[in-house]
Structure 1
Amino acid sequence: MKTAEIAQRYLTFFEKNDHLIVPSASLVSDDPTLLFTVAGMVPMIPYLTGVVPAPHPRIADVQKCIRTNDIEEVGRTARHGTFFQMLGNWSFGDYFKEGAIRYAWELLTSSEADGGLGFDEKDLWVTVYETDDEAEAIWRDIIGLKPERIQRLGRADNYWNTGQPGPGGPDSEIFFDRGPAYGQDGGPAVDDNRFLEIWNLVFMQDFIENIRGKTEFDIVGELPQKNIDTGMGLERVAFLKQGVENMYESDQVRPVLDRAIEISGRPYGEVHEDDVRFRVVADHVRSSLMLLSDGVRPSNEGRGYILRRLMRRTVRSMRLLGVDVPTFPELFSTSRDAMKIAYPVLETDWTALSTAAFAEEETFLRTLAQGSTILDLALDETKKSGQATLAGSEAFLLHDTYGFPIDLTLEVAEEQGLSVDRAAFDALMQEQRIRAKEDARSRKRQLADVSVYRDLRAEGETVFSGYDELETESRVLGLLVDGAPVSSATEGQIAEVVLAETTLYAESGGQVADKGTITGPGFVLDVIDVQRPVPGLVSHTVDVRQGTVSVDAVATTVVDAANRRAARQAHSATHLVHAALRDTLGPTATQAGSLNRAGYMRFDFNWSQALSPETRTEIEDIANRAVQDGLEVTTRVVSLDEAKAAGAMALFGEKYGDVVRMVDIGGPWSRELCAGTHVRTSSEIGIISLVGESSVGASNRRVEALVGADAFRELAAERALVSQLTASLKTPREQLVDKVTDLAAQLKTAEKRIAQFESAQRADRAPGIAKEARAAGAFQLAAHDLGSVESADEVRDVATAVRDVLGAAPAVVAVSGLANGRAIVVVATTEAARGAGVKAGVLAKLAAGVLGGGGGGRDDIAQGGGTDVSALPAAFGAIEQELQRA
């Protein structure tokens, strides 16, 4: 039974049982404390907690999930995957334990001919919470499961909670017995490899507080509404129904594994570590493709970093399988073909997705080449210094700065007969993890518990009337100070205000929040920010400037008209630039993020090459012609299907319901789904001036523009600058570029002549310094202090010039200088000296140690330095003593 068929059977079954079927939410979670949707229940949290009313008392879905906390286990077990799909059915105050158990058992054990999954009852076991007599009785007396196949387990296994104060409850898990070949008998309490969990039924009935750990918390009461939250792993059911060993060999994953086998030429099923690598490739390619399809792009932070890590682990695994050439074009297209039945977007958006994937692979292959060069140099220096271990700091630098994998560093070092100080590397990695976790905790502490909005949201959605007016009278529904509900807020306090209606725009769709005030009898509030903490609710963060504001008070929202007008200009300009980009570059230049505020806009788009000045000018011209044409801007509220049929562009990062707002500029010339505020005609924008274009990733570019009055002021400033230059250089404007270019060339020529003159001067000093050479054992030593110098290059030039004068003699040159308060020493050796075993790098390091610093380099020339300038005579003396011992 194919994976897609299992999912369809699941949805069909629950649809027949009065469940509303909802599409999967994005892998990019709405929860600000999560990077991704890590579990099937994440999108349902607002309904489960009662913050937002559920659209139907019964829901079923197939939810896409990404979880990377067990990434090192991928490929090593039958069930660990970074991307997985969770089948879920939900009851919000409707059916409870008996209903959930009946539905699960019926679907699992009904024959395939009757639409079920066809599992044999004798292969199924269940666990229940240790005190849940009710659930055990349902399984035993109503379902008819034999008592010996019902096991009771404790909080660690059969109690669910979010890890935060709030809802929780016992659960009942259903397991499939894979048979004696997979482990010992005795049920899931004995062996969770043989007995594989496939479905978890959570009976959300308790309110918990004082959480001290996974199993340490207090159940303080019952929830007013009991809910059902179930999750069945689609991949687990698929590999069981398909009779294969693990999820990597199921129909949506195995094709990539097979393609990797073909590319590498290595067998599957013979070498354990190779098998793990094949499975890592199959898993990570699919996960990366699904993240790309939800708008994530590789980067060095946040979600983009996770995606980059998955993609680079794939490249690394293929390298360990003996493949050094690009493989993403074949692997990703294979994954697309395996997944497109379930997710058609993979085919429709293939050009943009593949462009991002292929660019990332090319970038990392270059990184590996660069890192290999740096590693080779570090290993060479380690061997030359007589050490057998590469410093952990060197390995960490390669990993942290260049993205060079530690396992590759270990492998290359071993090939050259060296080890790596893994303990030091791991310590540095742990320090980095601690910093990252602390940063994450810091961000999380700044977030209010969204449950405080439950009662406010229960009164209905906040009405936004700001499209048509800038001022409206409303009522204060609630107040929060420091994240806690209060009855009033007084002068000088920072508070959150929730109103029944507002004209102030909440930040979304790339448009920043409105500025303005909220006034009422005896109070004035300055608006700092406007956000939507939960769907449908608008919260205003305010500074209480005057008086006291209380719950139920009459309040009037007043939008800063000038700021709103400039914000409208910028947002409409963003749409025009998007259209101009697609007109110039083609339909693959799709949006990957935006920001617009009064007078400014930036727009990120999928593109892998820098824009030429001519292309930038063309984009700017197209957008400004649209401004000049005075195109009508219209908005319509339509169904999502109608908007898609009309060709409306969806914006990155936005979540859409069944009804959407569609913004047209010039009819279909620019048509996007957008909740932002806009001008009435394009001519109101005034002017768009592109001021920047840059890279924000391997396959993403960013354009920035000033809009309206800000653009005019920027252009006026540039005009004034040009006027000053033409007057100063006495050159007509049209000849200014040539004049500046000519002056720059003259300056470069002059600098070159000066450098040549200074070099000749330094060379002239060489014979005199060479004459100062004295015997040091079997060698001649020419040691000289230049005093203050501009840079180390000056010291190096003199040292090499003196060495040239000394010629064939076995001689060593040591020249010092003082630059920026630091002593510099350069050591140069003649060929005869090197033939006698003298190495410049060793002597430079020795001298630098005396100066309180470090140094080293090649055998023929090396450099060191330190801060103890007074120790220069001693540094020269140390070199002389070393030569006398040689």
Structure 2
Amino acid sequence: MRTAEIKRRFLAHFEANGHTAVPSAPLPAISDPNLLFINAGMVQFVPYFLGQRAAPYPRATSVQKCIRTPDIDEVGKTSRHGTFFQMNGNFSFGDYFKAGAIPLAWELSTTPVERGGFGLDPQRIWATVYLDDDEAYDLWIATGVPAERIMRRGKKDNFWSMGIPGPAGPCSELYYDRGPAYGAEGGPEVDEDRYLEFWNLVFMQYEIADVASKEDFRIVGELPRKNIDTGMGLERMASILQGVDNLYEIDEVRPILTRAAELTGRRYGTHSGPAASQSHPDDVRLRVVADHVRTALMLIGDGVTPGNEGRGYVLRRIMRRAVRAMRLLGWQDRALPELLPVARDCMAPSYPELTDGFDRIATVAYAEEETFLGTLRAGTTILDTAIAETKRAGRSALPADKAFQLHDTYGFPIDLTLEIADEQGLQVDADGFRALMSEQRARAKADAKARKTGHADLTAYRTVLDAHGPTDWLAYETLDTRSRVLAIWVAGRPVDTATTGDIVTVALDRTPFYAESGGQHADAGTLTGPNLRAEVVDVQRPVRGLVAHTVRVLDGGLTVGDDLHAAVDPEWRTGARQAHSGTHVVHAALRQVLGPTALQSGSYNRPGYLRLDFAWRGGLTEATRSEIEEVANLAIRRDLPVGVRYVSLEQARAEGALALFGETYDETVRVVEIGGEWSRELCGGTHVAHAAQIGSLALTGESSVGAGQRRVEAVTGIEAFRYLARERDLVQQLAAQLKARPEELPDRVSALLARMKQLERDGDDLRGRLVDLDADTHASNAVDIHGVAYVGVTTTVDARRLAERIRDRLGRRPGVVAVVAGTSIVVTLTPAGTERGLAANTLIKELLAGKGGGNTASAQGKAGGNPTDLLDRLRNLIRPT
């Protein structure tokens, strides 16, 4: 049974049993500050389980895309570790409990295939329950599982919590016996390779506190509304139903692995069977390739782009591990163009949007591979230098800081460093490297902890939301409101009052202020009252439904319960509308000029300014930039109407409305259109009513922000006028200085540059002639040292060039030439000099106490002290053999 069919049957089973099918949330965990990626099926339902939001349905089902990366280095070493996986789940929010969940799981698992189930043999299914969960135990017995196939296990295995105070509860797991070829008999406690877990049913029935660890906490009492959260690993079930050993051999993964094996000429699985204790290196690398290429496809598909921090860094690391594994398998060409289309074909039956967006995905992926191949070339050069320095110093191990620098700064894989060092007869200070890596992880964890808001940190905001309900948000309707102060916070702590000079956070019962979101900067404005004058400097939504204003009190005081006047700065809002509508116009212009793959991946706008990131390989030519700018301004001149509609998410997608990758949308969405279908996007920002209100638009910059990602910047409205006025003034100043008309400036500047280059060439020629004259003079003054012509001089010109010229003038004589320029000394020998047993690198090391480097014919080092003394000491070292 194909994986896509398993997914379909799972959703169909629970929909038939009253569950609402909820689409998978995007992989980036945008709504949870504690996570980079969604790592479990229940993540998007956490607000319902915690009681932060009322669930819009009593029961739900989903197949959630997930990423787990803590054990990324273990991927491929065993058949169980993977970064991307899919979690089938069914959820109840205070509706049914154990007596509903257990029969539903058993029914789907054991119903014959021809009747819509998975057709698992009931005699091979085992169940586990928490130690004292007699209710679950009795329900499994009633379902038909014999007592000898039900195991009671402790907190470590069969009790679930989020690791923080809140809801928790026992769980019950289902295992499938794969047979004696996979391990010993005796159930999950004996061998979890033979007895493969495929479903975990979590019964949230308790509230816990004083959480010290997964097994150390205090149960406060039972929850008033008990919940169900289950997770069935889609890849686990696919491996069972497809009769394969592991997730790497299912239909969504094996074709990638097979293609990698074909390209590299390797054979998978000939070295290790189901019961093998250790995988062959070739098998490990092929698994890494298959897992990581699929993961990269899914991440880029959800809008993640490679970068140096956060989600982008994880993606970059995954992609580089895949490329590196292919090179270790012997493939030296570009790998992703061969493998990514295979991954697309594997996943498209479940995620057809991957086919529609593949051009964009491929653009990002292939550019990142090109960048990494350049990194490998540059890193190899740096490593070669580090190895040479290590050998010259007489050490047997490459220092840890060098290996760490290559890994951390240049992205050069440590395994490649180890391999190349070994080829050169060197070890690597692995213990030191691991220590540096541990320090980096500790810093990263400390930084992440410092940046977390976490669920508990938002308690004060939720208290106000629960007490007063959502903020009456009127940013679309008006620029001012009569409002009442509901709460005041200082550094997250509630206070009753604020006075002149205080900077505080304020919640109002209603507000006209736009809270920062969707790339649009928050509104600015004022709060005023009989005894108050304050400015609003920022507006955010710390929790869904509540608007929080950062306020600086300029005069008077502010007290909870005060009535006041909240007013948005109208000039600010006008500029914000122009910039946000301008962002949509630029996006549409990009797609019209470059094609449909130039999709926005992020944006930011504030009054008068916008920037937009989009998928594209290579910089834009000046002509292309001008065309994009012209298309945008033509749309503005045509005064295209700007409209806003609220429709279902399904209808918006059917109409071709563009959405930002990685964002999660409600079932009802706001569609902003400029000129109808010319620009149609999901957007919550503020906009002009007609395109002409944007004023003028000028592109001010275009740059790279990562592999396969470009950024354009622009100004709108009065800022565009000011920008163009500055450009005009600059042109006039240059024209006056060059005594030319503005249209003549390009030719005049080109002529000046050509003249400068010619002068530089003339200068180089003159310096070369002077060096040649000096070389003749110095060569004629060579002194004889044991039959070797020696020349030692100081200079202010190019030391290497002068040394080589003098050497050439010595002709066939054995000769040593030393030239000091500033802090550098160059030593070079004639061919006859090396034949006499002299070596430039030996002389330089003896002279500089082991420092410097080169070869027998030429060497260089850092000069120190008096140059004359240095040259005299070198003279004394000339002892031909």
The reply to whether TM is greater than 0.5 is: yes
Alpha-carbon distance in structure 2 between the residues aligned to 1:474 and 1:776: 97
Change (3 A) 1:224 1:457: farther
Alpha-carbon distance in structure 1 between the residues aligned to 2:743 and 2:315: 49
Matched, 1:883 2:878: yes
Deviation at 1:776, TM superposition (A): 5.5
Secondary structure of 2:364 counterpart: helix
Deviation at 1:138, TM superposition (A): 3.9
- The corresponding residue for 2:817 is 813
Paired residues of 1:826 and 1:862 also in contact (CA < 8 A): yes
Secondary structure of 2:798 counterpart: helix
Alpha-carbon distance in structure 1 between the residues aligned to 2:878 and 2:766: 34
Deviation at 1:437, TM superposition (A): 2.9
Could you tell me which of 675, 682, 688 is aligned with 2:684? 675
**Mean CA deviation greater in 488-497 or 323-332:** 488-497
Paired residues of 2:487 and 2:506 also in contact (CA < 8 A): yes
Deviation at 1:24, TM superposition (A): 0.5
Matched, 1:733 2:737: no
**Mean CA deviation greater in 514-523 or 763-772:** 763-772
- The corresponding residue for 2:277 is none
Deviation at 1:392, TM superposition (A): 4.3
- The corresponding residue for 2:585 is 576
Q: Deviations over 1:154-182 (max 9, x none)?
A: 33222322233333333222222223322
Secondary structure of 2:520 counterpart: coil
- The corresponding residue for 1:102 is 103
- The corresponding residue for 1:795 is 799
Deviation at 1:587, TM superposition (A): 1.2
Alpha-carbon distance in structure 2 between the residues aligned to 1:651 and 1:433: 31
Alpha-carbon distance in structure 2 between the residues aligned to 1:206 and 1:453: 25
Alpha-carbon distance in structure 2 between the residues aligned to 1:484 and 1:41: 31
Alpha-carbon distance in structure 2 between the residues aligned to 1:778 and 1:90: 93
Alpha-carbon distance in structure 2 between the residues aligned to 1:343 and 1:612: 35
Amino acid corresponding to residue 149 of structure 1 in structure 2: R
- The corresponding residue for 2:630 is 621
Deviation at 1:194, TM superposition (A): 2.2
Amino acid corresponding to residue 108 of structure 1 in structure 2: S
Deviation at 1:289, TM superposition (A): 1.1
Gaps of 5+ in 2: 272-279
* Aligned pairs (5 A) from 1:149-168: 149-168=149-168
Alpha-carbon distance in structure 2 between the residues aligned to 1:64 and 1:451: 29
* Aligned pairs (5 A) from 1:278-293: 278-293=286-301
Q: Deviations over 1:719-769 (max 9, x none)?
A: 112112211221122211211221222222223323333343344334554
Deviation at 1:533, TM superposition (A): 2.6
Count of aligned pairs: 871
* Aligned pairs (5 A) from 1:9-24: 9-24=9-24
Deviation at 1:385, TM superposition (A): 6.9
Alpha-carbon distance in structure 2 between the residues aligned to 1:442 and 1:849: 48
Amino acid corresponding to residue 802 of structure 2 in structure 1: V
- The corresponding residue for 1:695 is 704
Q: Deviations over 1:566-606 (max 9, x none)?
A: 11111111111111111111111111111111111111111
Q: Deviations over 1:293-321 (max 9, x none)?
A: 11112233322222222222222222222
Matched, 1:472 2:469: no
- The corresponding residue for 1:831 is 831
- The corresponding residue for 2:808 is 804
Deviation at 1:885, TM superposition (A): 8.8
Secondary structure of 1:47 counterpart: helix
Alpha-carbon distance in structure 2 between the residues aligned to 1:513 and 1:76: 48
* Aligned pairs (5 A) from 1:867-878: 869-870=864-865, 872=867, 875-876=870-871
Could you tell me which of 294, 302, 310 is aligned with 1:302? 310
Amino acid corresponding to residue 825 of structure 1 in structure 2: I
- The corresponding residue for 2:594 is 585
- The corresponding residue for 1:410 is 418
Change (3 A) 1:478 1:224: farther
- The corresponding residue for 2:452 is 444
* Aligned pairs (5 A) from 1:503-652: 503-520=512-529, 522-652=531-661
Could you tell me which of 464, 477, 481 is aligned with 2:490? 481
Alpha-carbon distance in structure 2 between the residues aligned to 1:882 and 1:484: 76
**Mean CA deviation greater in 871-880 or 174-183:** 871-880
Deviation at 1:831, TM superposition (A): 2.2
Change (3 A) 1:777 1:255: same
Deviation at 1:616, TM superposition (A): 0.7
Secondary structure of 1:62 counterpart: strand
Amino acid corresponding to residue 119 of structure 1 in structure 2: L
TM-score (norm 1): 0.91
Paired residues of 1:473 and 1:555 also in contact (CA < 8 A): yes
Alpha-carbon distance in structure 1 between the residues aligned to 2:848 and 2:574: 64
* Aligned pairs (5 A) from 1:38-437: 38-140=39-141, 142-271=142-271, 272-375=280-383, 379=387, 389-437=397-445
Amino acid corresponding to residue 604 of structure 2 in structure 1: L
Alpha-carbon distance in structure 2 between the residues aligned to 1:698 and 1:12: 40
Percentage of pairs with the same residue: 53
Deviation at 1:37, TM superposition (A): 0.8
Q: Deviations over 1:660-699 (max 9, x none)?
A: 1111212222221111111111111111111111112221
- The corresponding residue for 2:858 is 861
Deviation at 1:551, TM superposition (A): 4.2
Change (3 A) 1:784 1:526: same
Amino acid corresponding to residue 461 of structure 1 in structure 2: P
Alpha-carbon distance in structure 1 between the residues aligned to 2:840 and 2:444: 42
Secondary structure of 2:326 counterpart: helix
TM-score (norm 2): 0.92
Paired residues of 2:33 and 2:453 also in contact (CA < 8 A): no
Q: Deviations over 1:494-542 (max 9, x none)?
A: 4333333321111222111111233456444432322223333322233
Alpha-carbon distance in structure 2 between the residues aligned to 1:522 and 1:152: 67
Alpha-carbon distance in structure 1 between the residues aligned to 2:298 and 2:617: 20
Q: Deviations over 1:330-371 (max 9, x none)?
A: 322222222212111011222222232233333333443444
Alpha-carbon distance in structure 2 between the residues aligned to 1:86 and 1:718: 56
Amino acid corresponding to residue 354 of structure 2 in structure 1: L
Amino acid corresponding to residue 327 of structure 1 in structure 2: A
Paired residues of 1:847 and 1:864 also in contact (CA < 8 A): no
Amino acid corresponding to residue 266 of structure 2 in structure 1: R
Paired residues of 1:79 and 1:236 also in contact (CA < 8 A): no
Secondary structure of 2:833 counterpart: helix
Q: CA RMSD in A?
A: 2.9
Alpha-carbon distance in structure 2 between the residues aligned to 1:157 and 1:715: 67
Paired residues of 2:34 and 2:454 also in contact (CA < 8 A): no
Deviation at 1:61, TM superposition (A): 0.8
Change (3 A) 1:157 1:837: farther
Alpha-carbon distance in structure 2 between the residues aligned to 1:862 and 1:92: 76
Change (3 A) 1:762 1:211: farther
Gaps of 5+ in 1: none
Alpha-carbon distance in structure 2 between the residues aligned to 1:837 and 1:51: 83
Amino acid corresponding to residue 712 of structure 1 in structure 2: F
Amino acid corresponding to residue 50 of structure 1 in structure 2: G
Amino acid corresponding to residue 347 of structure 2 in structure 1: M
Change (3 A) 1:213 1:183: same
**Mean CA deviation greater in 278-287 or 260-269:** 260-269
